[in-house]
Each structure stands twice: as C-alpha cells, then as structure tokens.
A and B are shown apart, each in its own frame.
Chain A
Amino acid sequence: MRISIEPNRCMGHGRCYAVAADLLSDDEQGFVAECGQTLDVPEHLRDQAREAADACPESAISLLEATAADA
C-alpha cells in the first residue's frame, strides 16, 4: 500500500499526523511534512494510513492498494 498527499488540497488541519503519528509528521507551519510525496506504507502501519485518509476533511490523502505488479 502507498499513501500520497496532494499539496494543493492540504490546508494544515493536522488530523492526519495526529492519528498516524508513526507514518506522518508536521512541519513548522502545521502542514503535513510529507505533502506532495508518495510513501510506501509498511505492513504494520496500514491501519494508521487508513485512519489518516479518513481523517482529512479536505480529502487530500489517497491510498493506493499495491497491485500484483508491485509485489
């Protein structure tokens, strides 16, 4: 699974890193530091990734399920 955060949508609500502290972090201004990136989600953090996507009021976070080709 991968997680990506769309920079034009992120408004710094900070809900994602509040619920997924092991995966995401905040920058100086309170926006998610991983903005604009696509990260691989380690197996044990999948639930956190789902919670982060669920928590963002701007729908800035998408999850990409790994396909067979990724494996």
Chain B
Amino acid sequence: MTTPIRQCPVSHADFGTNTEIYGHYAMLDAEREADRFRFNDTTDRGFLMLQRYDDVVEGFQHHDVWTTEVRSAINPEPGVPLLPQDLNGEAHAKLRRVLNPFFSPAAVRRMEPMAHQRCVELIEELRPKGSCDFVAEFAIRYPTDLFLALLGLPVSDGEFFLPWSETVFAGFFGEDPAKVAAAKNNIMEYFDKAVRERRANPRDPKEDMVSRLIEARIDGEPISHEDILTICLTLMLAGLDTTRSALGYIYAHLAHNDADRQAIIDHPDLAPKAVEEFLRMYPLVFQAGREVQEATEFHGVDLRPGDVVWLGIAQANRDPRKFPEPDRFVLDRRGANQHIAFGAGPHRCLGMHLARLELAIVLREWHKRIPHYRIKEGTELVERGGQLTLTTLPLEWEV
C-alpha cells in the first residue's frame, strides 16, 4: 500500500530560525526518531522529509528523476542562479569534468603551501592579542583569502568582498531582495573585470582556474562569459560560509572538551581523522532539496512531479542506526568516512577535498601556537538557522 505525501505524520518544525547552539541538531534528531518520513508544512510548497541514513543516501542517488531544480527544501525559490548546481544529468557531468581537476586531491595538494602560509600568518596576527572573535577574525578571513588566491586575485580584496558575499548569502535566508541584487551586481562586476583581464593576459590553464574556464570547450563551445561569472559566484557562496561554520563548531567543541583538544595537541597527525569526525557530527548544510520530475514511489510513499523532497544530511550523519552514539566525538570511529556532510551523488560538494585540507591545516597550526583557549565567560552562543553557523565565538587564551 502506498500513501500520498500530504498526510500524517506532519511536521511543523521550522528550521529557518536562530536557536542556541546545537538547537537545530536537537530538533533534527527528534524529527528523525519520531517517524521515518514526515511531511513538513512550514513552507508554501511543503516537503517530504527523508531523515535516516539509508533513505537519504538513496535519495541522493535518485538524481535522474529528483533534480536540483530545487536545491533547498526550506527555500525552494532562492532566485540566485548557481553553476554547476543548477544543471543535471549530462550537462552537469560535462561542466563538472571541466572543474574537477581544480578540486581533485592532487590539485588541492598544490595549494597546500599557500593555505599553510596564510593560516600561520593569520594565527600569528591574533596570538599576541590573547582573544578574538574566532568567527569574524579568523574563520571567515581564512577561506576568503584562499578563495581569492585560488582565482588568482589579490588577497587584500577580501576587505570589500566579504560584506558583499555575506549579503548575497543572506538572500538564501530571506534578506531584502533589493539589497541582495545590489551586492550580487558588485560581485559580478568585480569578477567581470577579473575575467576580462585574464582574457587579455591568459595564464597557464593547468594552474589558473579562470584561464581554464576561458579556454575550456564543452561540445565544441566555449563557456559563456556570463556562465563563467556565475561559476565564480557559486564557488564563493559554496566555500566561504561553510568553512567558517565548520570552524566555529569545531572550535566550540574543542574549547569545551579538554580531552579531545589534548588529543589533537599531542597528535597533530590525527588532524585529518578529527576533521572527518567533526564533519560527521556537525554538518552545517543540514539538508538538501530536490524536485521530483517523475511520479515515484519511495518505500511506500507516492511522490508526484513538482513535489519537494528534503534530504536530511545532518539527520543521516547523526542517525544512531548508522553511527552508534552519534553525539559522541569518537576520533577512531569506524566508517566515519561514510558521513555525507558533503552530500552524495553527482552533485556532491566539488570543494570537499579543499575543505578537508583547509580544516586539517587549521587544527594543526592553531594548536601548535595556541593550544589552550576558552570561550569568553558569559557568552551565549547563537546558531543561525537555514544553514548553520555560529554568529560569534569569542575565544580567550594566555599570552
């Protein structure tokens, strides 16, 4: 027997609002344990929630008929075009083949010296101060600088670039559309100048991503200028907020858990393992959306074209059926690598290898220089809904 989706059990949980830290994980865990599937009615279109690990992974693998026409179940009409996310099927695969080589582990290894240098510079700048807002003064500056360097742009441009990207990003969570459009225009103009400059003075397309995008041919055709700008915008939106957020949760955890911090101080080589377990435990993009293109029956639920599906990434990563004692940080967790913080299927995060490298470098270098720190007394940690991030994380240490 099959059931249509707009039927009990219905969830009225609104995941778009701010809560205290970990508030969303508590809500997500409760929803998952209450029922295997739930229809959520908090948005105009509503969505069917897939919440358990096996279901969520299977959902990602339905990419031929569940497409990224909707990218977020919470905000199915975000307005800002993204590439390659907006493409599906062969068109998506072809553009990914152009981009993949810049984000493969080998390419990422080439970026390591630069990432390392920038990370150490930023830490050394903060260390003598004895305190900082880790979110604003480190966790967002570091990925922004690396993103600019990746595109071959001056790192100092981060100063004016950052407020623009924050505004566009806020557009996904209800910021005033006129403000978002203005910020987006500023960014597009900035990229436009950079790409034109590169057309005039091409660099090695193996090393320089913009030159590669200019030179690449898909079915014999160059990528349009506008699409190149959209790709740059997408990489920025995808890489900056997420890295900042991951760092915020990691450092909030380590400031509170002395034994876990000591393990990283004593064994810096374990940083990549720690990163995996942190990604499992604290995924920031806690859901992905998909739009159903063909009538589908999913384990007894009937879906119709136009229905929205919620792929519960965080619910899968914290599913006790898959990861026993999901709330515990277990450095040696068996199968921790199978987490899906970066999604799954063909749209899985392009920047995953870069993100892993960036995070591991921070863990190693920070703890070498500032091994012990605490959260400033009396701080209330607030997490933004929609896509999780800590709004502030004031840290203090002895100098």
Residues of A within 8 Å of B101, CB to CB, are: 28-30
Residues of B within 8 Å of A15, CB to CB, are: 337-338
Does A45 sit within 8 A of B, measured CB to CB? Answer: no
> Nearest chain-A residue to B334 (Cβ)?
A54
Does B57 sit within 8 A of A, measured CB to CB? Answer: yes
Residues of B within 8 Å of A14, CB to CB, are: 105, 352-353
Count how many chain B residues have C-beta atoms less than 8 Å from C-beta atoms of the other chain.
23
Does B345 sit within 8 A of A, measured CB to CB? Answer: yes
Does B378 sit within 8 A of A, measured CB to CB? Answer: no
Other A-B contacts than A12-B348, A57-B340, 19 sampled, CB-CB below 8 A, are A11-B346, A11-B348, A12-B100, A13-B342, A14-B105, A14-B352, A14-B353, A15-B338, A17-B105, A27-B104, A28-B106, A30-B101, A30-B103, A30-B106, A54-B335, A55-B335, A57-B57, A57-B339, A58-B57
What is the 8 Å Cβ interface bit string for chain A, positions 27-43, against chain B (1 contact, 0 not)? 11110000000000000
CB-based closest 10 A-B pairs: A30-B104, A55-B337, A29-B100, A15-B337, A54-B335, A57-B338, A26-B105, A57-B344, A11-B348, A57-B340
Does A1 sit within 8 A of B, measured CB to CB? Answer: no
Does A56 sit within 8 A of B, measured CB to CB? Answer: yes
Does B97 sit within 8 A of A, measured CB to CB? Answer: yes
* A-to-B contact residues, CB < 8 Å: 11-15, 17-19, 26-30, 54-59
Shortest Cβ distance from A28 into chain B, in angstroms? 5
Shortest Cβ distance from A42 into chain B, in angstroms? 22
Residues of B within 8 Å of A29, CB to CB, are: 97, 100-101, 104
For the complex, give the distance between the alpha carbons of A54 and B339 in Å.
11
Establish whether residues B57 and A30, one from each chain, have CB atoms under 8 Å apart when the complex forms: no
Residues of A within 8 Å of B97, CB to CB, are: 29
Establish whether residues A13 and B105, one from each chain, have CB atoms under 8 Å apart when the complex forms: no
Residues of B within 8 Å of A55, CB to CB, are: 335, 337-338
Does B61 sit within 8 A of A, measured CB to CB? Answer: yes
Q: Which of B317-366 contact A (CB under 8 A)?
A: 334-335, 337-340, 342, 344-346, 348, 352-353
Establish whether residues A30 and B61, one from each chain, have CB atoms under 8 Å apart when the complex forms: no
> Nearest chain-A residue to B316 (Cβ)?
A57
Establish whether residues B352 and A26, one from each chain, have CB atoms under 8 Å apart when the complex forms: no
Of B104, B106, B338, which one neighbours A54 at CB under 8 angstroms? B338
